[in-house]
Amino acid sequence: MARNVHTRIGIIGGSGLYDPGILEDTQQIKMTTPFGAPSAPITVGYLKGVSVAFLPRHGIGHWIPPHKINYRANIWALKELGVERIIAVSAVGSLQEHIKPGDLVVPDQFIDFTKTRVYTFYDGGKVYHVSLADPFCPVLRDLLINTAKSFGYSVHEKGTYICIEGPRFSTRAESKMFRQFADIIGMTLVPEVTLARELEICYATLALVTDYDVWAEKPVDAQEVVR
């Protein structure tokens, strides 16, 4: 399946990003892993002559909710293709007034509020403790920040992403608590980032702010997030 395919760059698409239209000369690769199948066939193509692998984490058409994504299969499959660096795109809500809808955030920290997910590849037979003091790749973070600036986007160079279980959104009380500690809120960063670290893959997130979370007056709307 992955035979004769080798690509060093991986892109994981989030809500609203299911089709890698920027890639040329593409092929679809169906993968299997020791942890099951990834969310969708992986599209491998070229961006300005560079081989890139693209995977929509929610599946094609957004049919997999965040708490049901097979994160281990997704990261393992990209590693099998030779991926060494992952840029993960995600839709998030803002927990702070100065981070506005339409802004980009390149987080440097996260807080994990998920509950039922499988966080590791190490289920037994070996004890392995991974350091996550600085969970994101500094090289990829700088690349994302500089590229966003060069295109004139409003980009926040740091931020703490709080990851909740989903698929429900927060209550107002939860949202007001979260904004004391974090800047943006989403449902897919964990365990994606930790699994990438276990496989020694450089990982960074480009977060697109779709709305203010419910600490603000207007409740979060799922259709607005996908748009």
9-211 has CATH 3.40.50.1580 classification: yes
On whether the CB atoms of residues 163 and 14 are closer than 8 A, the answer is: no
User: What average pLDDT score do residues 162-177 get?
Assistant: 97
Q: Which residue has the higher pLDDT, 151 or 2?
A: 151
User: What average pLDDT score do residues 86-109 get?
Assistant: 98
User: What average pLDDT score do residues 115-136 get?
Assistant: 91
Which sequence spans correspond to the domains of the chain? Answer: 9-211
pLDDT at residue 17, rounded to an integer: 72
Q: pLDDT at residue 67 above 90?
A: yes
pLDDT at residue 124, rounded to an integer: 80
pLDDT at residue 91, rounded to an integer: 96
Band the pLDDT of 227: cuts 50, 70, 90: low
Band the pLDDT of 6: cuts 50, 70, 90: confident
Q: Which amino acid is at 26?
A: T
pLDDT at residue 126, rounded to an integer: 78
* Catalytic member of 142, 183, 211, 221: 211
pLDDT at residue 1, rounded to an integer: 47
Catalytic annotation present for 103: no
Catalytic annotation present for 213: yes
pLDDT at residue 87, rounded to an integer: 98
